[in-house]
Structure 1
Amino acid sequence: NDMTPVRLQWGEILMPLLKKYKLNITWGDQDLLNIMFFHNPESLYVFPCQWNYRPDHCIYGSNCREAEEEGIFILHGNRGVYHDDKQPTFRAVYEAIRNYSFGDDLVHSLLQPLELELEKTMHTYCGRVYKVFIKQLTKSVRDLYSRRSKGR
């Protein structure tokens, strides 16, 4: 172990790690981050699941109570879930955002079409908890329109 726990400087750490481990890296940047934080665990912050919601949180049943209570803050579309048909709930989110024209009415052009598409995914585990996918978005849109109506 030639790493010491010091304040992380990305440029000073990543290139030496890449050179040292380049023949053993399968997952690219994720492997480098894992190596770096293995040696510097005090610099790692683990986000609660609703701040990094992945298919793993609903693929076999819901296992992120925080998302059920508060909704999802950040949706992590790993393993191609936005672009294949394996997770229709994630694909529905992607398609709704892709079809939304920025500047259009958020309720009628994004939120309502998204909810309609999410309802069609209720045959899947993630679809059964589809409301977690729109809870924070709904709140944000409501807050935005509330501030606009008050002239802020």
Structure 2
Amino acid sequence: MMMNLTRMRVFNLEDHMTRLLEEFQERIVYGDQDLLNIFFTRYPQGIFTFTCRWNYHAEHCLGDALCADGPISAIHASRKVVLLKQVPAFVALHAAMGNVSAPSLINVDVLGKLKEASFKLGQNLVDHFIVPLRTSLWNTNLSNTASTGCTKELRQQLHLLRLAASRVDNMTAQAAAANGT
């Protein structure tokens, strides 16, 4: 959850939460989570709901639920989705990040290449993240799963991800050159 701490202070969030705690103390189970839910029910103007582009998750891979409000900007994956290999695109992302376990949806030869090219902070994003991700996505067997929406969507958006990664790589190289590193 992202929070604007300045706005929270101006709104005296601490005082509001203290009063809510006193009022609901005997009826809440999950503490802060329940208090926040009560707070935002009473003050809906205090919350901004991101579009699916900024909170892309497994449910957006099923049937007609595909997120189409722009390029994916933040992926929200649970361990279950990745470790149980429920969503091939998320498994491919996980593998490209270097956390490779043996995803059954990815060809064994491709898996070996992913292990060699696994991304580490400070490395070139295009070569060490986008290229392995592309390889993994294009070698994902779509006939083995009903959850193909995210794989297709990520395949279509690879050019945007590559462009963003190139920009980060260029800025990193410029900063390194300026610092003499």
Cα drift, residue 56 of structure 1 = 1.5
Going from structure 1 to structure 2, the CA distance change for 1:33 and 1:118 (only over 3 Å counts) comes to: farther
- TM-score w.r.t. length of structure 2: 0.61
| Cα RMSD after superposing both structures | 3.3
**Amino acid aligned to 1:21:** R
Q: How does 1:1-152 map to 2 (within 5 A)?
A: 7=11, 9=13, 13=17, 16=21, 19-23=25-29, 25=30, 31-61=34-64, 63-67=66-70, 71-78=71-78, 80-98=80-98, 99-121=118-140, 123=142, 124-131=148-155, 134-147=158-171, 148=173
Determine which structure has more spread, i.e. the larger CA radius of gyration: 2
- TM-score w.r.t. length of structure 1: 0.71
Q: Distance in 2 between matches of 1:79 and 1:136?
A: 26
Higher relative contact order (CA 8 A, sep 6+): 1
Structure 1 unaligned runs (5+)?
1-5
Aligned residues: 141
Deviations 1:51-109 (A, max 9, x none): 11111222224532123xxx211111147223221112112112211331222222221
Q: Distance in 2 between matches of 1:11 and 1:101?
A: 43
Structure 2 unaligned runs (5+)?
1-9, 99-117, 143-147
Going from structure 1 to structure 2, the CA distance change for 1:91 and 1:38 (only over 3 Å counts) comes to: same
| Identical columns (%) | 26
